[in-house]
Each structure stands twice: as C-alpha cells, then as structure tokens.
C-alpha cells in the first residue's frame, strides 16, 4: 500500500510532557485532591518523572529513600506523601544548594496514583479500529505492507519501508528513509510498575518513540515508549533482529546494535556505539561515544567512550586479556606452590 499525506496532527504538547499552556497549581491540586504547600499562584509547565525533570515540571516521590534526591532536583512542583521536608534543605545553604521556597509541594497520600492520573489526563491512550488510523500522517514515497497497524497521530516521513505485521503505537514519529522489518513493535508500553496494596500498579506511558532519519529496525524488535519523555533512536542507527529498547532510552547517531541486545529504561547511549550480540545494558546509565561492547557482555554502570569492553560485568578489553592470561597460569603456579 502506497499512502499519501492524511490529516494534520493536533497535539496537546509542544514536546514530550510540556503543556501547550501553563496550568495553575491550584487546578492540579483540585484534580488530584492534593494540599498545596508553597506558592499557590505558581504555574505548572510540564509533567515528568524524576529522571527527566526540568524547571517548571511537576513530578512525584513516595518513598523516604528518594525524598532528598527529588526535593533537590530541577522539579518545581512535587507530589509527595510527607509534609516534613525541612531536613532535606541544608542550612546554611552551600554553593548550588536549593532553598525550600524554590519548590511547591502537593501533599497527597498516594503520589503515584495522583501523578498517573495527570499523565493519563494529558496524554490519553488513543485507539483505532483501522489498520491505519485516520489521523496518521504518512510521507510521500513511503511503502506500507499489508497487515501493518499504524496508530492515531503517528507521523511517518518520506521514502520509508514498513514491512508486514509491524505495529506502530499512537503518537510515535518516524523520520525519512526508515526501514522497519517484519513483526517489530514501536511504542509499546513502558515496563514500569509500582508495587502497592499487594499488587503491581502500572505507570501510564505518556511518552512516545522517535526514530530519526535513516534508521533501520530489524525483525522482531521491540522499542518501548517513554513514560514521560521520548525513547529516541538517532540518525543512521541500525538495529539487528530481536533487539529490545526500554522506556526513555536515548540511542545516539550511527550506532550498531546486534541481535538480542537489551537496553533497560532511561539509559543514554552515545554516538557511533557498537553493542554486539546479547549485550545487556542496565537502567539509568550512560555509554560514551565510540564505545564498543563485545558479545554477551553486561554493562551494569556507566562506561567511557572510545574504548572496547568485554565481560560480565564489563572491563576494558585489554584488562580482560591480562586477566585471562593470568588465569591460564594458575595451574602452573599451583603446582609450584605445592612443590615448595
């Protein structure tokens, strides 16, 4: 099927989770049945979970372990389940320290539910009973095979090829000259849950997936939507088959991700990074530009760019080679020790 341009998209957001117009904090409090502690005249400009907050954003925290981190983040508004926060603002203030009056609190007994309510209100799930939603925008020269599903308010650029049985969820954006192979899923819900009341409550995925120009996605891949920001695959990056990209991940330009690579949520991958087969990457970390990680390695923490890594957990390849050489000498050394 060769599709031309359809209807224009109207989004509530200028960019992920930033409101088109500021919203009074009093309105947010009324919607969530929260008590305002702080500036009742303040205006909220966006909604974000803690790893992506910016000034003007509202976020949430519901565990004392993370109170200090959240209260001293860039968030201007915090839904929180305690009023006792003075201890988290140092006195006297050190260099760069935040003052208590720089943040407005919204006291709520269940911040997770309050935040989730707002996320669903401002970025609702959109459903269609058509294979290609009427609000999808599809560029000139793009070819879409049968049995593909394209959700509401999806944007697809020019000269793309979308193979059979691909699913592209609502709100996702695909650049020009993108190839998506069969059975891949773009924009599935984030794997993000909170255990409370004896069960797991689901975080609403209010972000989307953005594939920039000249990206190629192999067969059977899954790229999850962000929970508040975009999951982004940079220009020219190539994914092999059966790659999984978690929520809010940022992959840079001209990267190579081989088969069965898995990247957990909110991780940042630099430009020209190569991850060979079955590499596992932890959440909330960074991999620098021009890094290479050899097959079947695990990356539990951030690593510098410009180096080659191997192992579980990874070490620099040169250090790994020295370790292997020493291990090979252990039987000989043991024999010598026994003969002393």
Q: Which residue numbers are catalytic?
A: 247
CA distances from 266 to 75, 192, 263 (A): 17, 11, 9
Whether the Cβ atoms of residue 14 and residue 156 lie closer than 8 Å to each other: no
Strands 274-275 and 292-293: parallel
Query: How many CA within 13 A on the CB side of residue 194?
Result: 14
Return d(Cα 171, Cα 186) in angstroms, integer: 10
Burial class of residue 191, CB neighbours in 10 A (0-12, 13-18, 19+): middle
Compute the CA torsion angle 77, 82, 88, 89 (nearest 10 deg): 50
Whether the Cβ atoms of residue 298 and residue 314 lie closer than 8 Å to each other: yes
Return d(Cα 37, Cα 58) in angstroms, integer: 14
Tokens for 30? 């009324």
Return d(Cα 70, Cα 235) in angstroms, integer: 33
Return d(Cα 340, Cα 337) in angstroms, integer: 5
Whether the Cβ atoms of residue 151 and residue 168 lie closer than 8 Å to each other: yes
Strands laid side by side in the 222-224 sheet: 149-150, 167-168, 185-188, 222-224, 244-245, 262-263, 280-281, 298-299
Give the angle subtended at the CA of 77 by the CAs of 74 and 79, to the nearest 5°.
120
3-state secondary structure 185-196: EEEECCCCEEEE
């Amino acid at each position: 099927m060769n599709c031309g341009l359809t209807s224009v998209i109207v989004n509530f957001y200028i960019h992920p989770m930033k409101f088109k117009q500021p919203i009074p904090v009093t309105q947010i409090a009324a919607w969530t049945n929260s008590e305002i502690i702080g500036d009742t005249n303040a205006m909220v400009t966006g909604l974000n979970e803690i790893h992506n907050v910016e000034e003007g954003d509202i976020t949430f925290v519901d565990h004392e372990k993370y109170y200090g981190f959240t209260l001293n983040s860039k968030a201007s508004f915090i839904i929180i389940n305690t009023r006792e926060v003075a201890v988290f603002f140092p006195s006297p203030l050190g260099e760069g320290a935040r003052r208590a009056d720089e943040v407005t609190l919204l006291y709520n007994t269940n911040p997770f539910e309050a935040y989730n309510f707002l996320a669903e209100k401002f970025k609702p799930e959109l459903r269609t009973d058509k294979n290609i939603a009427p609000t999808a925008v599809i560029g000139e020269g793009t070819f879409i095979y049968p049995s593909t599903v394209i959700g509401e308010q999806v944007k697809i650029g020019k000269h793309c090829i979308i193979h059979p049985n691909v699913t592209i969820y609502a709100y996702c954006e695909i650049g020009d000259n993108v190839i998506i192979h069969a059975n891949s899923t773009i924009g599935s819900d984030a794997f993000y849950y909170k255990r409370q009341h004896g069960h797991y409550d689901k975080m609403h995925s209010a972000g989307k997936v953005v594939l920039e120009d000249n990206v190629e996605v192999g067969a059977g891949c899954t790229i999850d939507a962000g929970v508040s920001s975009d999951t982004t695959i940079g220009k020219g990056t190539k994914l092999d088959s059966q790659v999984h990209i978690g929520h809010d991940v940022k992959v840079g330009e001209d990267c190579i991700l081989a088969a069965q690579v898995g990247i957990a949520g909110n991780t940042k991958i630099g430009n020209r990074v190569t991850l060979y087969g079955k590499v596992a990457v932890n959440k909330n970390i960074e991999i620098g530009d021009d890094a290479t990680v050899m097959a079947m390695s695990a990356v539990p923490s951030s690593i510098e760019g410009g180096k080659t890594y191997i192992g579980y957990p990874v070490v620099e390849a040169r250090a790994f080679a020295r370790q292997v050489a020493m291990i090979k000498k252990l039987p000989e050394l043991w024999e010598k020790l026994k003969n002393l």
